[in-house]
């Protein structure tokens, strides 16, 4: 669909991340199931709960701005999830797979950080201050998740993976 103005671009970007978050609610339980390190599994599970809340936040924005929700496939998220699935397929259970899943998950978080950062700029420009502050809550959760993943990788999982027999 052709977009005519910034408002429509904002809506389109919202539909995109709305679909992306929904794809994640399906992928995160599988990631948790495949994780060996209990802290990583727990991290995926707690981010699943956050992600469900993030979906509801977007629905709140739709309501707030009377936006008619449209389903739009987020191709980028689909690709990122496909890559995560391939990494799982190409590794055995253990620290190497955990390290691989952390890299895949951090790519997802960085995509989300970019998406929410842009959405906040658009909302601010359009004068949608309440939407901007709702989106900022999610952005902070994505940043915190990214930091936790780095801490897990650097706090032992990468080292354990390095010691895995060749
Ligand atoms: Fe998210
Ligand atoms: Fe996330």
- Cα–chain center distance at 159: 25
CA–centroid distance, 121 to ligand 2, in Å, is 19
Model-level pTM? 0.95
Instruction: Please give the class, per CATH, of domain 6-163.
Output: mainly alpha
CA–centroid distance, 139 to ligand 1, in Å, is 8
Could you give the CA distance from residue 1 to residue 68 in angstroms, rounded to a whole number?
Answer: 15
Residue 72, Ramachandran bin (φ over 0: left; ψ between -120 and 50: alpha; else beta): beta
Could you give the CA distance from residue 54 to residue 41 in angstroms, rounded to a whole number?
Answer: 20
Residue spans of the domains in the chain: they are: 6-163
pLDDT tens string, the chain, 166 residues long: the values are 788 999 999 999 999 999 999 999 999 999 999 999 999 999 999 999 999 999 999 999 999 999 998 878 999 999 999 999 999 999 999 999 999 999 999 999 999 999 999 999 999 999 999 999 999 999 999 999 999 999 999 999 999 999 986 6
CA–centroid distance, 166 to ligand 2, in Å, is 32
Among the bound ligands, the one closest to the CA of 46: 2
- In angstroms and rounded to an integer, the radius of gyration of the C-alpha atoms of the chain is 17
């Amino acid at each position: 669909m052709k977009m005519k103005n910034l408002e429509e671009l904002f809506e389109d970007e919202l539909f995109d991340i709305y679909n992306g978050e929904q794809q994640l609610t399906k992928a995160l339980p599988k990631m948790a199931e495949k994780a060996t390190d209990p802290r990583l599994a727990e991290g995926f599970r707690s981010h699943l709960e956050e992600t469900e809340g993030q979906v509801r936040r977007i629905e709140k924005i739709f309501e707030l701005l009377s936006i008619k929700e449209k389903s739009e496939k987020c191709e980028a998220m689909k690709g990122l999830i496909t890559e995560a699935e391939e990494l799982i397929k190409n590794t055995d259970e253990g620290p190497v797979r955990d390290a691989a899943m952390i890299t895949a998950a951090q790519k997802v978080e960085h995509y989300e950080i970019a998406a929410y950062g842009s959405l906040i700029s658009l909302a601010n420009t359009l004068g949608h201050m309440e939407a901007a502050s709702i989106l900022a809550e999610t952005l902070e959760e994505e940043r915190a998740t990214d930091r936790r993943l780095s801490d897990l990788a650097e706090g032992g999982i990468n080292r354990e993976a390095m010691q895995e027999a060749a």
